[in-house]
Amino acid sequence: MLLLKNGKILEDGKLKAKDILIEGKQIKKISEEITESTAQVIDLEGKFVAPGFIDVHVHWREPGFSYKETIYQASRAAARGGFTTAMPMPNLNPVPDSYENLKQQLDIIEKDSVIRALPYGAITKGELGEEYADFEELANHVFAFSDDGRGVQDANMMYQSMKIAAKLNKAIVAHCEDNSLILGGCMHCGKRSKELGQKGIPSVCESVQIARDVLLAEDAGCHYHVCHVSTKESVRIIRDAKKAGIKVTCEVCPHHLISDENDIPEAIGMWKMNPPLRASEDRQALIAGVLDGTIDIIATDHAPHAPHEKEVPMAESAFGIVGSETAFAQLYTYFVKTGIFTLEQVVNMMSKKVAEIFDLPYGTLEEGKFADLVVIDLERKEKINPENFLSKGRNTPYTGQEVYGIPVLTLCEGNVVYRDI
């Protein structure tokens, strides 16, 4: 047994002192004072305890791209960030479009991951948008279906996939991007792209596919989840769809909440991500979407790359930045400490709400539930330093950024998977 003494948990929006007793994989007791002579004791000294975070959007790169990241390192990086469950995306080699291909990934997860990992199955064979993946064969082994990294271009293919997924009680999780509108861009098509002389990606590239898909999902009766929302038009479409009773949910990434195109100092690879950092009014629309509940959850889109893929001019760079180890601290620093979001809102969007919308038995700090939790030192201050990352990926534009709210202990099913306390 493990006894966490002198922690603080959120109750009715306020921090209250509690002890937490853990036995096996479960939380046995939460109380103001617990004495258990046979338990190993960790004194939390007043630090904040939250449910383990759930990240529905990560790129763990194995099998196929271990030079970018490994499941061994990615899972430890996630644990360091307070995540106890993660959903690896299917843009791998081989693509998990059949059980045979998926099993390679499942075997590595079983061997190397320190946290719970629930992989996606692909929507189409090879994520090429031409043939359907083996939905029925994959359904019992995957979290949901996605072709993340690519938008499904053919409307009927997406529609039929939604109908199949609905029958299998699985969500379609969509990277929304109309290829005919990307126009070879490497950053948002706006003021800053013109100043830097870079080809831009217009906002409509994302929003037009969301508009198509919410109507398809309505007819198919499918749970449709939108990845990494980045534009004000996307927020508006999703808000309207929810009002119409369509089963649509969505996520936003920390970097799209924290930064916009004006923060890009020069056209370098570290600032290249997909979707790109949009205009200031888009960022404000995302924040408003969080506050009014249009945006359901926060996901990192942790996307590690090798140095040679990012330390180049923006036009030549791979899309993506890492985020597992910095997400909570950045959100806490920029939104909770400034009074824009409450601590409870951020924690719920990274745990409880994720579990609710995907019907998962995780994401809560309750007696009898899984002992998935993170201990956070809300007063501790650090500068983001990629050299200290547990991830193989060092590709962040936020090097040197000062943040508060550092995870210091993470437990997954009662096992200590990260400790700095």
Q: Three-class SS of residue 15?
A: strand
62 phi, psi to nearest 5 deg: -110, 140
**Look-up: residue for tokens 């898909």?**
213
49 phi, psi to nearest 5 deg: -115, 125
CA nearest to 224, candidates 258, 247, 198, 192: 247
Per DSSP, helices labelled H in 316-409 are 327-331, 343-350, 352-358
- Compute the distance between CA of residue 329 and CA of residue 381 in angstroms, rounded to an integer: 9
Check if the beta carbon of residue 144 is closer than 8 Å to that of residue 154. no
Tell how many helices (H) and how many strands (E) occur in the chain. Answer: 13, 17
Check if the beta carbon of residue 116 is closer than 8 Å to that of residue 413. yes
Check if the beta carbon of residue 279 is closer than 8 Å to that of residue 32. no
Catalytic residues: 301
Give Cα 45 to chain centroid, integer Å.
Answer: 29
